[in-house]
Structure 1
Amino acid sequence: MTLAPERPTTATPTAVVVAPPGLEREQWLDVRRAGVGGSDVAAVLGMNKHRGPLEVYLDKVGELPDDLPRSPELDEAAFWGTALEPIVAEVFAARTGLHVADGPGTLAHVDRPWMLANLDRVVLDPNEPSVPGLLEIKTRSAYQLDEWAEGVPDGPALQTHWYLAVTGYRRAHVAALVGGNRLMVHRVERDEQLVEHLVQLVGDFWQHVLDRTPPPVDGSAATAELLAHLYDVQPDAVTLADPDEVLPLLDQLAEIKQREQQLADERRVIENQLKAIAGEAEIVRCRDEVAFTWKQNGTFAAKRFAAAHPELAARYAHLTPALDTKSLATDRPDLYRAHRARRLLVPTAKKGNK
């Protein structure tokens, strides 16, 4: 008689603790690479402007370079998010009357151990002590106030529902400190259809990781930036590519560029017609509403001003420190090249050569 393996003791309805809180950063990163966490989900789905699916994949398989440029602004935002988290949790508890406890560490789904979660806090309602939930805490810029006033934006909403998927909890609260002085609180009820959809999509991505098959390259700005810094460029090195792969892409690129030029020409015609209607006026109204404006508040034409008013230009000119890139390129060509951006150039097809 073969006994079924004993089910592990769960810390939540569907999750077990796989790492305690307070791990050293390197240990914590090792745990994160064993699965997909809440902060990965939006990136995996192509909905994170700072990270794309390819970067998450390379991170999980241990092939993401350590020297990729990091955004000082994002690092600063992350610092203050961590520093303010206890304060936001305390105020949330005081204003809602709910009990808040620290998260238990890194959780993994009991049946799908690649599904990971690091909860900011666990929430207990005194009126329903047998129905715990989770609290996700965010700090955001004042410019995002309108987004948070309407509900939880897509990225945090996906992260929150991922945590519901991992833990088996039925509800969550998201508390966002917006602009440093506005606490926006939203309650999120578990959407079973969304949970199933997330598990399917993210599970497909995780299979790419297990198979060591990179996901398709997407069109996000984050992936473009990653590709620009991913490789150590070998000057004048040549790659022999499969024509069946490259030539259709070049054809598509040429077609897109042609459409872009056509649209730019059409747009210019319409804009010129509107400018002619405006004439000397800066504001054009239709049906008691502003239809469009053509104001003289664009980029200042410094060269044209200097040519027309040389004496005034000399009076208002001032010297600013500037890097002498020409001398740098001459003296240290290796460093100069290493800090140049990579450009994708497609040779113009010659007439009669198709």
Structure 2
Amino acid sequence: MSDFKVFPFETEKQWLKGRMIGIGGSDASAVVGLNPYKSNIELFEEKIGRKIPKDISDKPCVIYGKKAEEYIRELFKLDYPEYQVSHHEYHILQSLEYPFMQASLDGELVDQDGRKGILEIKTTNILQSMQYEKWKDRIPDNYYIQVLHYLLVTGWQFVVLRAHLNTEWGGEKRTTVKHYFIERSDVEDDLKMLLEEEKKFWEYVESGRKPPLILPEI
């Protein structure tokens, strides 16, 4: 029995429109005040239709990430043949228990024990050493919240996040590839916290009452 239902969209335009309804993976960090680009108030205003989300689809880093994804997924298959990897373009998964929670995955994994997991792919340009620090022993908070959200929607057991960190120094381009493995059983407390926060946030959306602003920790 699956924890979600699947909405397959034909085109990117329909898929993008479908993503507007409910809380998606990149929204989740804004709910808890951990999104560097958007506050929980801005997200609330988008969800009640008061504000139109900024279109960032023409930004070079977004175009790069989108085009690189399929190749990175293929590289992941070569590097980790022990996983079965599948991907469904323009699919939105919607939680059955909490229909306002949804997910669009970069890949679906099955490990050698038959357990299901999530593949998340990130490409980022590292412009200063401080940014690299954020990736040193863990993934940045906003991406951590994103994959927790996917675990909540799917009910699956693990996440593998593959990050391609691009740098350019002295005219030389380099890519560092890092892998982060997250087991559901290790993050149960964080999952509970996020679920409560998302439920609370969605109550604000449904009532039209503005939530209190959550300021990110400096």
Structure 2 matches for 1:123-138, cutoff 5 A?
Answer: 123-125=109-111, 127-128=112-113, 130-138=114-122
For 1:101, which of 86, 100, 106 is the aligned residue?
86
Distance in 1 (alpha carbons) for counterparts of 2:37 and 2:66 = 19
Q: 1:193 aligns with which of 189, 192, 201?
A: 189
Are 1:23 and 2:11 matched, yes or no? yes
Partner of 2:69: 85
Q: Is the 8 A contact 1:100 1:123 kept in 2?
A: yes
Q: How many residues align?
A: 202
Aligned residue for 1:181, secondary structure, equals strand
Distance in 2 (alpha carbons) for counterparts of 1:24 and 1:174: 23
Residue in 2 aligned with 1:113?
Answer: 99
Q: For the residues of structure 2 that align with 1:176 and 1:168, how far apart are their CA atoms?
A: 23
TM-score by length of 1: 0.53
Structure 2 residue aligned with 1:176: 163
Q: Label 1:218 to 1:156 Cα distance change in 2 as closer, same or farther (>3 A).
A: closer
**Secondary structure in 2 aligned to 1:28?**
helix
Displacement of 1:65: 4.0
**Residue of structure 1 in register with 2:22 after alignment:** 35
C-alpha deviation, 1:71, in angstroms:
6.7
Counterpart CA distance in 1 for 2:85 and 2:9 is 16
Of the three residues 14, 17, 20, the one matched with 2:3 is 14
Match of 1:55 in 2: 42
Separation in structure 1 between the aligned mates of residue 198 and residue 63 of structure 2, nearest angstrom: 28
List per-residue Cα deviations over 1:100-125 (Å, max 9, x = no partner): 11047100111111111111100122
Distance (Å, rounded) in 1 between the aligned partners of 2:156 and 2:61: 29
Measured at CA, do residues 207 and 23 of structure 1 come closer, stay the same or move farther in structure 2, by a change above 3 Å?
farther
Long gaps (5+) in structure 1? 1-9, 221-354
Q: 1:29, CA displacement in angstroms?
A: 3.9
How far apart are the structure 1 equivalents of 2:84 and 2:52? Answer: 42
Equivalent residues of 2:85, 2:107 under 8 A apart: yes
Task: Please give the alpha-carbon distance, in whole angstroms, between the structure 2 residues aligned to 1:148 and 1:219.
Answer: 22
Give 1:216 shift. Answer: 2.1
Cα distance between partner residues in 2 of 1:148 and 1:75: 22
Instruction: Please point out which of 146, 154, 167 is paired with 1:167.
Output: 154
**How is 1:232-251 mapped onto 2 (pairs within 5 angstroms)?**
none
User: Does the Cα contact within 8 Å between 1:34 and 1:114 map onto a contact in 2?
Assistant: yes
Give the secondary structure class of the aligned counterpart of 1:107: strand
**Partner SS, residue 214 of structure 1:** coil
> In the alignment, which residue of structure 1 is the partner of 2:171?
none
For residues 235-262 of structure 1, what are the alpha-carbon distances to aligned partners after superposition, in whole Å with 9 as ceiling and x for unaligned?
xxxxxxxxxxxxxxxxxxxxxxxxxxxx
Alignment-derived partner of residue 155 in structure 1: 142
- SS of aligned partner of 1:122: strand
What residue in structure 2 maps to residue 45 of structure 1?
Answer: 32
Shift of 1:149: 2.8
**Displacement of 1:96 after TM fit?**
1.7
Tell me the distance in 2 between the aligned counterparts of 1:172 and 1:102.
15
Whole-angstrom CA distance in 2 between matches of 1:167 and 1:82: 23
TM-score by length of 2: 0.84
- The structure showing larger relative contact order (alpha-carbon pairs under 8 Å, at least 6 residues apart) is 2
Whole-angstrom CA distance in 1 between matches of 2:145 and 2:125? 19
**Counterpart Cα distance in 2 of 1:33 and 1:75:** 20
* Number of the residue aligned with 2:169: none
In the alignment, is the contact (CA less than 8 A) between 2:56 and 2:62 conserved in 1?
no
Larger radius of gyration: 1
